Every structure is written in structure tokens, then in C-alpha cells.
Amino acid sequence: MTQIRKSPTTEATALRQLVKTNARELLRDGKTVFFVLLFPLLFLAMFLGLGFLNTGGSYRVAVKASAEQTQVIDKLAKAQGFHAEAWKADAPPAAGNLGGYDAIIGTGHGRAEVTVDASKFGALKGLRAALADSGIDSSRIDFRTPDGGRPFDPVKASLPTALVMALMSVAFFGTATPLIALRQRGTLRLLGATPLRRRTFVVAQVPVRLVLVAIQLLVLGSVAVGLGFLPLADAARLFATGLLGALMLFSFGYLVAARLRNPEIANGALAVLMPVVLLLGGLFLPMQMMPGFMQTICKAMPTTYLVDALNHDLTGAASTYGLTVDWLVLVGAAVVFGGLATRLFRWDQGEER
């Protein structure tokens, strides 16, 4: 029997048509659009609201001697709820002791070190604004608690969390679920009866999803730059990390969709998987606070390296593994997941070939 081969021109035409059809199908489903675009933004808005609204209270602040001391005190005096004064003692208090203040500020060489009571995270916005008005860029302000840790900042914490949620939403609810629904409706079986290659079909799913990811990165990156958490010069690095993370998660979404045919079961499983990934990635709980066996699991998950890279850019946290290692893990996981998805993909659950 003579085998019919598709010419490169025919395959390219099929790819373009599939890309257009896929974009229409994805954007036509209101539920998918909500979970892919709006849900992460609502999550971000909730945390931003928490951070900006939780600024009430009265805070006593000491400012160490420096060229910026008077200006910082004047700016804090204009902020509601702050009582600022010069640090009068000859030496700063011992480690772990704020000397009766809610925060102690030290400035110099265009930088600021702020030690703040861990329970007073409502003061962070005002402290950051006063220092910014004094000419100190937000990216050069180091907030610490008396024990040397970082205070909980709901505004900063929301950015990497919302971005990971956005990427997972595209990969899970915007990739795996629609493909499984196509299999359940029998659409994939009909496509399997044509000369269309599996690889062409899988590749056609990528462009519209990369556009959605680019929109998410642009929105969240603009918020981070606008709040002073991300220097504009580092925006390209964040964009690259987001795209690599998206490709890794897309590949995993394809792998999930490779054989499943029940979208309801898949949705339930993916909805449970999302908070687990967020927890084990170190977004809700620092990895150092987890038991040893959980730390081992975390280090084996590629999402941990995505979170590590995003935290470095968006929260100023020191990278645990280094950006090169983070990117290599993301690329390696994308290749492995993508290869398995292509190999295991079936037009129909009962297909054996």
C-alpha cells in the first residue's frame, strides 16, 4: 500500500488553520477565559487590597544617623500613624531587640536597611513610601525582622504567587482540559482519521497560549515595576523566566491530556494539584520550615525552580539555586514532559497504534 506523505506546504497550511481554530475555541469558552486570565488577576487584586488597606495603626520609628536622617524623619512625620525620631543611643540595640520601637531605619549610599516588628507588616507601605520620597529606590530597601528573617509583605508575596497561578491556569485549565474535552467529544478521533501528524496538532496549541502568557507577564510585570519591586532593567529576565516556566507547565499539561478523556475528573485533579504545587514550591511556606522528606520532594519538582527564579526578581529574595540552574531545570523538564506527551498522545483512548 502506498503511504500518503504530506508536503511541507500542506503541513504548514494545516498548522496555520489549526492555530486559528484553536484560538477561537479557547477564547470562546467563558469558563476557560475566567480561569486563565481573570482568576489570577482577582487573586492579585485581593492581596494588593490586603496590603494597601492594612496600613492602620500607630508606629514608632527610629532613624539612625546618616545624611538622609532628617529627610526620612520629615517624610515619615507626614505619613499618617507614624511617629519618627532620631536614634539617640550611641549604639543600635542588640540583635533581636528593637529597643521599644516598631521599626529602626538605617540609610547610606542610596540604600536602606529597615528592621521591623514581624507583626507590624501594615507599616511596610508607609515605610517604603517615605524612603522612596527620600530618594531611595524601593529595590534598594532591605526589610528584615529582628530575628534576621523577612517580614510578611502581602503585596510582594502576591506577585510571584499570582504569576505562578496564572501560568498553571493556562497550562491546566487552558491546555489540558480543552484537549481532554476534544477527546471526549470525539473530535480528536476524527482528526486522527486524517493525515494530520500528532506533532503538528500539539505544536498548533502553543501560539495562542504563549500570547496569553505574554499578556499575563506584561500585566504582572507592569504592576511589579510600578510598585518599585522590579527594576525596569530586570523586566526582560522576568519575561524569560515566565516563558520558560510556561513552556514547562504547557508540556506537563499536554502530558496530563495525552490519554485522559474525562474533563470533569481532570479538572478536579488539577484543582487539587494547584495548591499543592504552590505549597511545595515555597510560596506559602519557606522550604526551610518543612520536614526533611518534604524538602526532598520539593527539590525534585521543577516548579520549585520556577518559584526560586520568580522570587529572586519579584521579592528580592536570594536565589537558592542560581538563575542558570533554575533555567536549565525548566528547559530540561519541558523537554522531558513534551517528549512524553508527544509519545503518549492518542487521538482516541482505544487507539493502540
Gap between the Cα atoms of 240 and 324, Å rounded: 12
The pLDDT score that the predictor gives to residue 2 is: 41
Number of alpha helices (DSSP H) and beta strands (DSSP E) in the chain: 15, 5
Going by the DSSP 8-state scheme, the letter that residue 312 receives in this structure is H
- Side by side, the strands of the sheet bearing 141-144 are 82-86, 59-63, 103-108, 111-116, 141-144
The pLDDT score that the predictor gives to residue 183 is: 82
Positions of the chain with pLDDT under 70: 1-9, 29-32, 35-36, 47-57, 90-96, 139, 154, 286, 316-318, 348-353
Take residue 168 and report the three cell numbers written for it. 498553571
In our burial notation (b when 16+ CB lie closer than 10 A, e otherwise), range 141-177 reads bebebbeeebbebbbbbbbbbbbbbbbbbbbbbbbbb
The pLDDT score that the predictor gives to residue 352 is: 45
Gap between the Cα atoms of 102 and 72, Å rounded: 16
Gap between the Cα atoms of 336 and 348, Å rounded: 23
329 Cβ contact list (under 8 Å, min separation 6): 302, 305, 321
pTM over 0.85: no
The pLDDT score that the predictor gives to residue 227 is: 73
Going by the DSSP 8-state scheme, the letter that residue 65 receives in this structure is S
The helix (H) or strand (E) run that includes residue 84 is strand 82-86
The pLDDT score that the predictor gives to residue 231 is: 78
The pLDDT score that the predictor gives to residue 242 is: 92
The pLDDT score that the predictor gives to residue 51 is: 59
Gap between the Cα atoms of 177 and 6, Å rounded: 29
pLDDT tens per residue across span 178-206: 888 888 888 888 887 888 787 788 788 88
In our burial notation (b when 16+ CB lie closer than 10 A, e otherwise), range 91-116 reads eebeeeebeebbbbbbbeeeebebbb
The pLDDT score that the predictor gives to residue 292 is: 81
